[in-house]
Amino acid sequence: MKFKISVLFVVLAALIAVSGVSAQSSVKGMNVNGMTGVIITPTARIGWEKSDFGLDLSYTMAYKNDAAHIPAVTVSLFRKAEVAFAFDMEGNDLTNLLFGGKYQLYKEGNTALALGGDFEYQTHDVAENNRASSDVYIVATYSGDFFKMPAVTTMLFGWQFMEAGDFSTDLNYSMGFELGLFPETFKNYVYWISDFSNYSYAIYSDKVNPARGIFNTGLRIDPIKNSKYKFVINMLGTDLLDDGSRGFMINATFGMGF
């Protein structure tokens, strides 16, 4: 497993190194938590950077043994910040409330830097004093070209300072990558997205297991090219490097900028 993780980081680092300066920006789809991002990894981009106010509605179905349903509402403010509120439901039970936010500290050309954080509250099945978890992170995103295909690379470092109600010293890290597949053929409608992380989208989630690292990958489809509307679909395989932990995920986002 250590070898597989090393290979992933080498490949992603190489993608960063060969990126040029002429690429298009990220599609700005949502991650599982409802933040503008890849799959689990948020990016340093804001969902609506050309509108003072944006509203996104997303839905994720994550499946491993059984299904979890995660609807989310995201608000982008003043082209610099966004906040998200998601509900993690398994069967008919609401298991987790997920809150997140980030503020874009810097954006110049193809590079962006943001500071963010998440808060999770487990609604039942655990003791009251073990229900809350929280983290903070800093994330950088860079866009370029990879063999003449638009590419966006993201790196995140964070601190899980509260885990299941207890103080924690755990550090979070992840890398995400978006690649526009053969733009002359698919006209920037189809993207390959992947991310690697040592954390899940929620502490109390069994759909992806962070114990030995998580690698997720799949396709992102962006059929609408409109500056005021957004409709993005993700079709993904999750935790693919661990036998017994593999699953799949479907995500759809609709948004409007004002």
Q: What pLDDT shows up at residue 7?
A: 44
Q: What pLDDT shows up at residue 27?
A: 67
Q: What pLDDT shows up at residue 163?
A: 92
Q: Spell 41-80 as b/e; 16+ CB within 10 A means b.
A: bbbbbbbbbebeebbbbbbbebebeeebebebebbbbebe
Please give the mean pLDDT across all residues of the chain: 86
Arithmetic mean of pLDDT, 226-249: 90
Percent of the chain with pLDDT strictly greater than 90: 61
Q: What pLDDT shows up at residue 90?
A: 80
Arithmetic mean of pLDDT, 183-211: 87
Max Cα-Cα span within the chain = 55
Q: What pLDDT shows up at residue 255?
A: 94
Domains, in order of start, for the chain: 2-257 (2.40.160.40)
Q: What pLDDT shows up at residue 198?
A: 93
Which range among 95-104, 229-238, 241-250 shows the weakest confidence by mean pLDDT?
241-250
The answer to whether residues 96 and 70 touch, using CB atoms and an 8 Å cutoff, is no
Q: What pLDDT shows up at residue 134?
A: 95
At 78, the pLDDT band (50, 70, 90 cuts) reads: very high
Residues 118-162: pLDDT tens digits?
999 988 776 777 789 999 999 999 998 888 888 999 999 999 999
Arithmetic mean of pLDDT, 210-233: 88
Arithmetic mean of pLDDT, 235-239: 94
Which range among 15-29, 95-109, 169-183, 236-250 shows the weakest confidence by mean pLDDT?
15-29
Confidence check: pLDDT of 25 > 90:
no
At 6, the pLDDT band (50, 70, 90 cuts) reads: very low
Q: What pLDDT shows up at residue 14?
A: 47
At 185, the pLDDT band (50, 70, 90 cuts) reads: confident
The three-state DSSP-derived secondary structure of the chain is CHHHHHHHHHHHHHHHHHCCCCCCCCCCCECCCCCEECCCCECCCCCCCCCCEEEEEEEEEEEECEEEEEEEEEEEECCCEEEEEEEEEECCEEEEEEEEEEEEEEEECCEEEEEEEEEEEECCCCCHHHCEEEEEEEEEEEEEEECCEEEEEEEEEEEEEEECCEEEEEEEEEEEEEEECCHHHHCCCEEEEEEEECCCCCCCCCCCCHHHCEEEEEEEECCCCECCEEEEEEEEEECCCCCCCCEEEEEEEEEEEC
Confidence check: pLDDT of 17 > 50:
no
Arithmetic mean of pLDDT, 54-68: 93
Burial of 87 (0-12, 13-18, 19+ CB in 10 A): middle
Model confidence, pTM: 0.86
